[in-house]
């Protein structure tokens, strides 16, 4: 999950935990190179983020945008 501290972040974390999954907290304040390294090293199966941050994260992962009108749809899936 890569999101700024907000209600959407809390909802995303609760959804992840309720599903019995694990999460990798990515701070949007980190440099782009660090975020890219963390994503490649951890090899997550999906990315949860906010629409403002979705463009800045260059990811090949299926992405759920938490503040989109229809967050249930996975992009690229």
pTM of the model: 0.78
Residue 31 lies in a domain: yes
* Domain assignment present for 2: no
Residue among 3, 4, 44 at smallest CA distance from 24: 44
The tens digit of pLDDT for each residue in 22-55 reads: 999 999 999 989 999 999 999 999 999 998 888 8
Q: How many CB atoms lie within 10 A of CB 22?
A: 9
* Mean of per-residue pLDDT scores for the chain: 87
Could you give the number of structural domains in the chain?
Answer: 1
Q: Is residue 74 part of a domain?
A: no
**Beta carbons within 10 angstroms of residue 50's beta carbon:** 19
Q: For residue 16, what are the domain limits?
A: 7-65
Q: What is the pLDDT of residue 54?
A: 85
């Amino acid at each position: 999950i890569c999101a700024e501290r907000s209600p959407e972040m809390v909802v995303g974390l609760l959804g992840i935990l309720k599903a019995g999954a694990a999460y990798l907290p990515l701070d949007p304040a980190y440099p782009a190179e660090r975020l890219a390294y963390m994503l490649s090293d951890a090899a997550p199966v999906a990315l949860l983020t906010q629409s403002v941050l979705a463009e800045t994260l260059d990811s090949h992962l299926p992405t759920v945008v938490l503040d989109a009108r229809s967050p249930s749809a996975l992009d690229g899936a």
